[in-house]
């Protein structure tokens, strides 16, 4: 079995993330990791909070906290939400860790030794009002490309174009709002991406045919436009310091590395954190260093992160001239919108993950988000769609099936799986259909096609309902008690199968379904095709209980309350 290294884009530290952020990176990575573990693979799923850069300083200033304290509290708050969503990270680290500082500085020194870093004098925005140089995100203004009036000095949130602060029209300080800005000379380190263009092109060419079209097209667009040398230091109080042994003058000035330089390196840093914290963990380098054919590395991210992971970070890794593991597959997502408008952390538009968990348990959200993941295009979250999906797929198709089978069997046969009856044509046909749908589900999960995988899972649930309607045990029991027992026993085996294969999507519900049966040796991680056809893992005589309602149906009153709290059609 291959070893699988999985990372999802690091959630930024300035506040709880929205549902669009969840479905664009961490949740699908978790679903895939869970599936691979079930299939027997050695999996390491790494993530961390991205803690450096201007927004962290601004958010800390707004709360009146030292930035280190703010980041520590925000990390814990985010981790609590991800625990609530049952994200099964192997390790969730922090980009401000000592390990990331060490490895980032190592990368910088190696790039410098190899001639890919250059110290340059540049002209930078300076605010006399604030008494400091303003790094990119400390400058706001109007995007020269699309006219968006809240563009930041590094990137326009609206059109995603990469910017420099001096590109902005009518720039202003994000600290004080002052428009009294000057341009002064200062020195920074530049990563000479132009010298690495050819190597990055060759590397992308070897991989892009395997990537989703979204990822490969964004990488190719950046390369076609040409890689430009990019400043990788900033004038901030918080960040990975420029090492004094290599650049003493810049270190003395308090320069730190640009957040987009150190953030991807944190995937490696967090793995070292994981290894350092527990000596039983495999040495961190066994996942990252000189392991090109031993480890398959998959990254999950939304489309705005793609260029940094497919071009900038690979350029960094290539330039250090050491055998660091590079990504094999980039699973890129479009955006989940909120009634056609963007979810926005900064503008507090849409449903945020902590709010979602206040309303309903995580499995409601996990299933809906993955079943509607914005893979081929942007997709829109609406409360109407969410309510309809919960009621149809979760409450009716799965939850009602489980409840009616177990409740009816308990009422008519007692609290053990009923004996009697010999499987016939209906059971044989059901077994073939379940095996076929399970193979489809496996195929789509292996291909990281999450919407199609969700459709196959839904079809598995539907097959049980079709079988139950065909056999109608509530009628069958009147004339053929053994036949009704067979039908219910077969349906109970479907419930157990659903518990196993649904675990990546709805882990808490899967556990509840599985625990309904008192199977002493129930250690099955997956359901092989022959077992799916036989549907006999839960034998007659197995004690069972009827779990509480798995999914409550959402009412018109619920829908109205959600729209009143979060907004509906007018949110754009």
What is the DSSP track for 40-67? T-EEEEEEEEB--SHHHHHHHHHHT--H
In total, the chain counts a number of residues equal to: 572
Closest CA to 496 of 396, 395, 563, 417: 417
Question: Is 448 inside any structural domain?
Answer: yes
Residue 543 lies in a domain: no
Which of 221, 252, 283 is a domain's end point? 252
Q: Share the mean pLDDT of the chain.
A: 94
Structure tokens at 472: 């109608």
Same domain, 208 and 229: yes
Closest CA to 84 of 354, 430, 264, 297: 354
User: 265 and 231, same structural domain?
Assistant: no
Determine, yes or no, domain membership for 557. no
Query: Does 349 have pLDDT greater than 80?
Result: no
pLDDT at 569: 65
Q: Among 28-42, 343-357, 443-457, 535-549, which stretch is predicted with the lowest mean pLDDT? A: 343-357
Q: What is the pLDDT of residue 464?
A: 98
CATH, residue 120: 2.170.220.10
Give the residue ranges of DSSP H helices in 169-303: 193-207, 213-225, 248-252, 259-277, 285-288
CA distances from 123 to 119, 133, 166, 187 (A): 13, 10, 9, 8
Q: Which two tokens stand for residue 242?
A: 């420029």
Q: Is 345 annotated as a binding residue?
A: yes
What does 496-540 look like in DSSP terms, one character per residue? HHHHHHTTTT-HHHHHHHHHTB--TT---SS--HHHHHH--SS-T
**Looking at the domain assignment, is residue 518 inside a domain?**
yes
Rounded to whole angstroms, the Cα distance separating 174 from 293 reads 46
Among 252, 278, 299, residue at a domain's last position? 252
pLDDT at 27 over 90: yes
Domain annotation covers residue 232: yes
From 252, 285, 310, the end of a domain falls on 252
Query: For the CA atoms of the chain, what is the radius of gyration?
Result: 27
**pLDDT per residue over 140-192, tens digit each?**
999 999 999 999 898 898 888 888 888 999 999 988 899 999 999 999 999 99
Residue 279: its pLDDT value, please? 80
Q: By 3-state DSSP, what share of the chain in percent is helix, strand and coil, each rounded to 5?
A: 50, 15, 35
Q: What is the pLDDT of residues 379-426, one digit of tens each?
A: 999 999 999 999 999 999 999 999 999 999 999 999 999 999 999 999
Are 492 and 401 contacting, i.e. CB atoms less than 8 angstroms apart? no
Residue 539: inside a domain: no
- Token pair listed for 201: 């092109």
- Name, in order, each residue with C-beta under 8 angstroms of 369's C-beta and a sequence gap of 6 or more: 19, 22, 23, 27, 336
Statement: residue 255 has pLDDT above 50: yes
- In this structure, the answer to whether residues 273 and 200 fall within a common structural domain is no
Consult the annotation and say whether 47 binds a ligand: no
Domain that includes residue 333, residue range: 3-106+260-380
Q: Give the mean pLDDT of 307-334.
A: 97
| Strand ordering across the sheet containing 3-8 | 91-94, 42-49, 3-8, 295-302, 329-333
pLDDT at residue 345, rounded to an integer:
59
Give domain status of residue 567, yes or no: no
Summarize pLDDT for 74-109 with one digit per residue, the tens.
999 999 999 999 999 999 999 999 999 999 999 999
Q: What is the percentage of the chain residues whose pLDDT exceeds 90?
A: 85
Question: Same domain for 361 and 440?
Answer: no
Q: Where are the alpha helices (DSSP H) in 375-424?
A: 383-389, 400-413
Q: What is the pLDDT of residue 572?
A: 41
Q: Are residues 366 and 267 in the same domain?
A: yes
CA atoms within 13 A on the CB side of 153: 22
What pLDDT, on the 0 to 100 scale, is given for residue 124? 85
CA-to-CA distance for 313 and 226, rounded, in angstroms?
16
Q: Is residue 569 part of a domain?
A: no
Domain of residue 354, CATH code = 3.40.50.620
pLDDT tens digits along 465-497: 999 999 999 999 999 999 999 999 999 999 999
Instruction: Assess contact for 143 and 117: CB atoms under 8 A.
Output: no
Tokens 């968006």 sit at which residue?
148
In 414-472, which residue ranges form alpha helices assigned H by DSSP?
425-446, 450-471
- In the predicted model, is pLDDT for residue 196 greater than 80? yes
Closest CA to 236 of 111, 150, 323, 133: 133
Note the pTM of the prediction, 2 decimals.
0.93
Under the banding of pLDDT at 50, 70 and 90, the label for residue 347 is: low
The answer on 120 and 101 residing in a single domain is no
Please count the structural domains in the chain: 3
Is the pLDDT at 110 greater than 60? The verdict is: yes
What is the spatial distance between Cα 331 and Cα 453, in angstroms, rounded to a whole number?
A: 15
Per residue in 268-301, pLDDT (tens digit) is: 999 999 999 988 888 999 999 999 889 999 999 9
């Amino acid at each position: 079995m291959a070893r699988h290294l999985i990372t999802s884009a690091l959630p930024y530290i300035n506040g709880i993330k929205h549902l669009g952020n969840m479905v664009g990176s961490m949740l699908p990575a978790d679903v895939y990791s869970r599936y691979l573990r079930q299939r027997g693979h050695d999996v390491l799923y790494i993530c961390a909070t991205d803690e450096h850069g201007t927004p962290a300083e601004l958010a800390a200033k707004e709360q009146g906290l030292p930035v280190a304290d703010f980041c520590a509290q925000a990390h814990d708050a985010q981790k609590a939400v991800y625990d609530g969503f049952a994200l099964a990270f192997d390790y969730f680290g922090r980009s401000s860790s000592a390990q990331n500082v060490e490895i980032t500085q190592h990368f910088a020194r190696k790039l410098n030794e190899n001639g890919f870093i250059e110290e340059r004098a540049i002209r930078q925005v300076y605010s006399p009002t604030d008494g400091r140089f303003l790094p990119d995100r400390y400058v706001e203004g109007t995007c020269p490309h699309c006219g968006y009036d809240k563009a930041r000095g590094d990137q326009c949130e609206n059109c995603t174009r990469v910017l420099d602060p001096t590109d902005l029209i009518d720039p202003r300080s994000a600290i004080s709002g002052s428009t009294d800005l000057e341009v002064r000379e200062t020195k920074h380190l530049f990563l000479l991406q132009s010298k690495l263009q050819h190597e990055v092109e060759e590397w992308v060419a070897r991989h892009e045919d395997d990537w989703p079209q979204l990822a490969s097209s964004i990488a190719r667009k950046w390369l076609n436009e040409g890689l430009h040398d990019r400043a990788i230091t900033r004038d901030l109080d918080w960040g990975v310091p420029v090492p004094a042994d290599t650049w003493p003058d810049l270190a003395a000035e308090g320069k730190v590395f640009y957040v987009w330089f150190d953030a991807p390196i944190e995937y490696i840093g967090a793995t070292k954190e994981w290894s350092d914290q527990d000596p039983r963990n495999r040495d961190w380098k066994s996942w990252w260093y000189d392991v090109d054919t031993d480890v398959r590395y998959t990254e999950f991210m939304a489309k705005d992160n793609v260029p940094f992971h497919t071009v900038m970070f690979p350029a960094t890794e290539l330039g250090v001239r050491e055998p660091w593991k590079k990504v094999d597959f980039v699973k890129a997502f479009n955006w989940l919108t909120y009634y056609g408008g963007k979810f926005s952390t900064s503008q507090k538009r849409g449903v945020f993950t902590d709010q979602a968990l206040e309303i309903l348990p995580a499995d409601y959200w996990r299933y809906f988000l993955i079943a509607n993941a914005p893979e081929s295009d942007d997709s829109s979250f609406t409360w109407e769609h969410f309510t309809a999906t919960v009621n149809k797929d979760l409450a009716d198709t799965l939850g009602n099936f489980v409840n009616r089978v177990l409740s009816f069997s308990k009422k008519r046969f007692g609290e053990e799986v009923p004996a009697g009856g010999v499987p016939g044509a209906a059971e044989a046909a059901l077994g073939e259909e379940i095996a076929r749908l399970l193979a489809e589900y496996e195929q789509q999960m292996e291909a990281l096609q999450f919407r199609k995988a969700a459709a196959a899972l839904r079809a598995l649930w539907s097959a049980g309902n079709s079988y139950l309607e065909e056999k109608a045990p509530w009628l069958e029991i009147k004339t053929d008690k053994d036949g009704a027992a067979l039908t219910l026993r077969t349906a109970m085996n479907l419930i157990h199968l659903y518990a196993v294969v649904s675990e990546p999507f709805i882990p808490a519900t899967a556990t509840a379904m599985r625990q309904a049966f008192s199977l002493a040796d129930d250690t099955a991680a997956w359901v092989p095709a022959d077992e799916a056809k036989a549907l006999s893992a839960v034998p007659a005589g197995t004690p069972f209980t009827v779990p509480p309602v798995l999914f409550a149906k959402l009412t018109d009153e619920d829908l109205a309350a959600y729209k009143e709290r979060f907004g509906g059609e007018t949110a754009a």
